[in-house]
Amino acid sequence: MAVNTTKTPPFTALQVMQDSPVIPVIVLNDVAHAVPMARALVAGGIRMLEVTLRTSQALACIEAIAKEVPEAIVGAGTVRNAADAKAAANAGAKFAVSPGYTPSVGQACRDVGLSLLPGVATGSEIMMAQEDGYTELKFFPAMQAGGPAMLKAWGGPFFDVRFCPTGGVTAQNASEFLSLPNVACVGGSWLVPAEALANGDWARIEKLAREACQLKLR
């Protein structure tokens, strides 16, 4: 008889999405920035932090935040394969976000106990994710793939899916996405500007987080 080794994630994907109106999409090149940045975001009211696996320092940054900022809930973005999922979980990530979706990525995240927000851009991709039990999805790249109009169109056939639009979402257009009934939150990189990281301007990051928390869902 097969043994089920799937681990239960500490948070569901919906809980990750509903914690605040915005999940910051974070690119870190220096481990020294990770902890003060995370503390600034938490001070501004943002707990769910997506650190993308786009740099050689990303896993070390996830590990540092997980160990030193217990108030934060750190996740890994740009999870593209099983190796990424395992490495992220080992570093202390509590959830994963992927730019697309494959069944193997979904299974890998279940195996290591990571909630997953799979990336989708088409109806077929939504259906594939739903077949594997995923109903909370990342719409990516949101603006390039149709923006709010696409989400409105999906609201009919995919009435039971909640989305986190990411990609081209800004402080200026976030409210338009958040006003839609099938949007639970948005993902945005504007909360952690590269120049603020470079200058150690943690007060600016905290201010941007506070402003993001004021954005209202429908």
Pick the closest to residue 165 from 131, 123, 130, 119 (CA basis): 119
Out of 50, 63, 136, 206, which one is annotated catalytic?
50
Out of 94, 138, 176, 211, which one is annotated catalytic?
138
Pick the closest to residue 73 from 42, 49, 37, 41 (CA basis): 49
86 tagged catalytic: no
Assign 137 to helix, strand or coil: strand
In angstroms, the CA 150 to CA 69 distance is: 37
50 tagged catalytic: yes
Alpha helices in 19-164 (DSSP H): 31-43, 58-68, 82-91, 103-112, 123-131, 147-154
Known catalytic residues are 50, 138
